Amino acid sequence: MKFHMITGRTVKQGEGVERKLSADYKRETSACRMNPLDMMDLGLNEGSHIKLISSYGEVVMRAVEDKTLTSGMIFIAYGPYCNVITSHDTHGTGMPDYKSTFVRIESTDEDLKTVEELFKDMGGRAP
């Protein structure tokens, strides 16, 4: 199934930004919030591991129910997990297209990568 991904800040993500290697930061930034009916259509439960695939990459995250989201939309807090599947092109603005990415979602039994592993995969190093 294809979904329109929107990203943004959350209180917990903002609190954890100075502790990017903490379990709390990983938990918040690896959560893919989804409409409960979309989760049901995909056979997902709260906490199910899902693979998000875009034109830019793929990443494993956790499905989290969010009744405020319209069917067909997902929300991910800013962080290393959404960066893997977001374009790095800023069109001269200095800010990537965090609101216009479409992803395919499928269930997986793969484990989530750590923040350190994601940084390494993207050619960087852990903070």
- Token representation of residue 105: 């979602």
- The domains found in the chain, sorted by start residue, are 2-122 (2.40.40.20)
Q: In this predicted structure, which of 42-46, 59-63, 97-101, 103-107 has the lowest mean pLDDT?
A: 97-101
For the record, the structure tokens of 77 come out as 């807090």
DSSP 56: S
Q: What is the dihedral of CA 71, 37, 112, 125, to 10 degrees?
A: 20
Beta-ladder partners of 33: 64, 75
Average of per-residue pLDDT values in the chain = 84
The answer to whether residues 35 and 70 touch, using CB atoms and an 8 Å cutoff, is yes
Which has more confidence, 8 or 73? 73
pLDDT tens for 74-122 read 999 988 898 889 866 555 655 556 567 899 999 999 999 988 888 888 7
* Contact partners, residue 68, CB within 8 Å, separation at least 6: none
Antiparallel, parallel or unpaired: β 2-8 and 101-107: antiparallel
Q: What is the pTM of this model?
A: 0.82
The stretch 34-47 carries a mean pLDDT of 98
